[in-house]
Amino acid sequence: MSPTPTTSHSPPDPSTLARRVARELSLAVPGVAGALALFRDGATLPFIARYRKEATGGLDEIELRDVRDRAAYIEELEGRRGVILESVAEQGALTPALEKAIRDAASKQELEDLYLPYRPRRRTRGVMAIERGLEPLADLIWAGRAGDGAVRRAAADFVNPDQEVAELEDALQGARDILAERVAEDAPLRRTVRERIRREGMVVSRAARGKKDDPSAARFRDYFDHSEPVRSIPSHRMLAIRRGEAEGALKWTIEGPDEAILSRVQQLVLGNRAASGILREVAADAAARVLTPSVLSEVSAELKEKADAEAIRVFGENMEQLLLQPPAGERPVLGLDPGFRTGVKVAMVSATGGVVATDALYLHQPDRFARGLLELVRRYRPELIAVGNGTASRETEQAVREALRDADGIAAPPVVLVNEAGASVYSASELARDELPELDVSLRGAVSIARRLQDPLAELVKIDPRSIGVGQYQHDVHQPSLRQRLDETVELCVNRVGVEVNTASPALLAYVAGIGPSLAEKIVERRESSGKLRSRRELLAVPRLGPKAFEQSAGFLRIRDSTHPLDRTAVHPERYPLVERMARDLDRSVASLIDDDEGVRALEGRLERYVSGDAGLPTLEDILEELRRPGRDPREAFEAPSFREDIRTPSDLKPGMRLQGVVTNVVAFGAFVDVGVHQDGLVHISQLADRFVKDPAEVVRVGQRVSVTVLAVDLDRNRIGLSMKAAPEG
């Protein structure tokens, strides 16, 4: 009798987990261990990346995210392993060999393959055959000593109308059903078939019945008769096919190497067993009815998961680039939300974003439009005019330019087209109602457009990132994963730039490390009731903002007019004594060190003397950089883009035209560029550069100004083909 295996299973201890994560990610163990310890202690990713470089060995934001996510996967894996061991043991089926296989399984997929025969089952044909008492007959066939004739004779003993086994063939069919499902649950066989389908399977899509000539399905025309290997299909094509299926335009499937799979199943089933005729039927049934459909479903889910992950990665990168677009800064801006029927909504905002005036002007009344616009410009002296890039944007831009051109004695401010994606979502939101309760919903969009020009980051954080539309098929991917990635991207961007605590909106403050929506509201209530905060230390007086939240957030919050000079920098309060020591050593004040190259250079030659257990050279170098350029905004300097005034609609475009444009979206197959005609053009990945490009993100980013050549214009399908090559091929 075999010894009873032990089923005790504990999650990995911190040191084991750190070593495993480090090995799988090819990172140094001490840095991974330090990062995981900080995450366990409740530290945020931005805080760890910026202020705990010694503990992590300088791991950057991406590496820290990978460490956290991999550790979470391993902990989930080990938790699942424990559940499976306990379940199989309770069934009395945990042999030493099976226990070893379960403990050695390196992935969730391997674990689930091993657990499949022991999972609670739905009532399949095999399960119902077992309920009818036919498992001994199946065991007789599987034992391999009885030939086909002997099996048939034995099957006669299982005929029992009371058990719904009316005749001999019913008994044999039940035994075959049991064996087919048993074969399909064989873990090594499933692994082999899965790898074969991954390697040799084809994704095949066809037009759904009646959709080939349906105009509503025209955008899926490229997939009406399409096939592509499972191993190499790009995420954007997989998502497009799934979208076509969801909209009823396409039917798709994965076609596996059926003959090769059947051959492999026959090898396992036949072996040296005697009942070859019956077993060939078992093999065919197992391969066609049970195993292949099950594994195809798994591979399909894998393709979806892989496509989702890639789309979410692209969305996150685009969101980061959009949020970090150059701000125009604290300059008065006249914002225009274009429209034909309902008019152009106008909002004048001050340098700090306050609403000064609003109006509505109509394009079909050109004289009144010009007079109204010029009156606003004369009275409020905007330094920039922001025009939303939606419907009627080019007509509005042209009307503004003509009015300014014909005006006497007015210095015409630059006119800038602003991406208004998500502005309507913001306008109707509860946040917008709270911020602008006196304004009609239609006018709030104009305010948002103006503020986006002043500071894209501060304004875009007010909108659900999924509503901004800088990804591919964002509504088709796994929504919780997408939300987590986008929220984290916004958080990293906000903390990289820093936040002025006395002017930031609750929406912006909520993304500061350690703060969140509730504390953000408390901070705003505190400054409204007691006046501006005069120092970072005053944050500790905010209700429920304790030492931990202060530690995580303080370095990212700026107080421009603080009583302490370092409060307007990214130097963390925990390092103030260190900077004060540096100043004393130079016989200077802390304030005189800030923004002073001479003082920083004097410190550079003596940094070693300030190294301590928790403040190594990375922290000291960050401090010096911050003293050199206090509160530096990492975003590039603002420069207004411009479009050709004679190009307003797609019909104005001709092949060969060279235009300036702005990248609005980067996807796996290229980049979309706004050239000022209401319809973005596509620069296919093959047209991005005069060299091979593997990833469009290597070449372009959202918000980048680029020079493009028009390749083709398809007015029927609203498609514009562009090229960024020096000498594009037609």
pLDDT tens digits for range 348-386: 999 999 999 999 999 999 999 999 999 999 999 999 999
Instruction: Output the six-digit token pair for 652.
Output: 């104005």
Q: At what angle do helices 276-285 and 135-143 cross, to 10 degrees?
A: 110
pLDDT score recorded for residue 475: 78
Question: What's the sign of the alpha-carbon dihedral 40, 43, 46, 52?
Answer: negative
H/E segment holding residue 666? strand 658-667
Record: fold of 650-723:
OB fold (Dihydrolipoamide Acetyltransferase, E2P) (2.40.50)
Instruction: Output the six-digit token pair for 288.
Output: 């066609």
pLDDT score recorded for residue 187: 94
| Cα distances (angstroms) measured from residue 585 to each of 101, 269, 603 | 64, 82, 9
Across 493-613, the runs of DSSP E, i.e. the strands, are: 499-500, 557-558
Each domain of the chain, given as residue ranges in start order, spans 14-118, 125-310, 333-454, 516-628, 650-723
For residue 219, give every residue at least 6 positions away whose Cβ sits within 8 Å of its Cβ, in sequence order, or none.
717
Between β-strands 681-684 and 719-723, what pairing exists: parallel, antiparallel or unpaired?
Answer: parallel
pTM: 0.84
pLDDT score recorded for residue 7: 58
Please give the CATH superfamily to which domain 333-454 belongs.
YqgF/RNase H-like domain (3.30.420.140)
| Cα distances (angstroms) measured from residue 406 to each of 373, 378, 410 | 12, 14, 10
pLDDT score recorded for residue 590: 94
pLDDT score recorded for residue 565: 94
For residue 268, give every residue at least 6 positions away whose Cβ sits within 8 Å of its Cβ, in sequence order, or none.
183, 186, 189, 283
pLDDT tens digits for range 232-271: 999 889 999 999 999 999 999 999 999 999 999 999 999 8
CB 324 within 8 A of CB 497: yes
pLDDT score recorded for residue 3: 46
* Reduced 3-state DSSP string for 95-157: CHHHHHHHHHCCCHHHHHHHHHHHCCCCCCHHHHHHHCCCHHHHHHHHHCCCCHHHHHHHHHH
| ∠ CA 234-236-461, rounded to 5° | 130
Secondary structure letter of residue 630 according to DSSP: T
For residue 2, give every residue at least 6 positions away whose Cβ sits within 8 Å of its Cβ, in sequence order, or none.
95, 96
Record: fold of 516-628:
DNA polymerase; domain 1 (1.10.150)
CATH code linked to domain 14-118: 1.10.10.650
User: What are the mean pLDDT values of the chain's consecutive 10-residue runs (730 residues total)?
Assistant: 55 92 97 97 96 95 96 95 94 94 94 92 90 95 94 94 92 96 95 96 96 90 95 92 94 95 95 93 96 96 93 89 90 95 94 94 94 94 92 89 81 86 88 91 93 93 81 80 91 95 94 96 94 95 95 96 93 96 93 89 89 90 92 83 79 91 87 86 93 90 89 88 82
Half-sphere exposure of 387 (CA within 13 A, CB side): 28
Closest CA to 195 of 113, 267, 103: 113
Closest CA to 684 of 715, 716, 709, 703: 709
CB 269 within 8 A of CB 286: yes
Residue 73: other Cβ atoms inside 10 A: 14
* Domain range 125-310, CATH class: mainly alpha
The C-alpha atoms of residue 505 and residue 512 are separated, in whole angstroms, by: 11
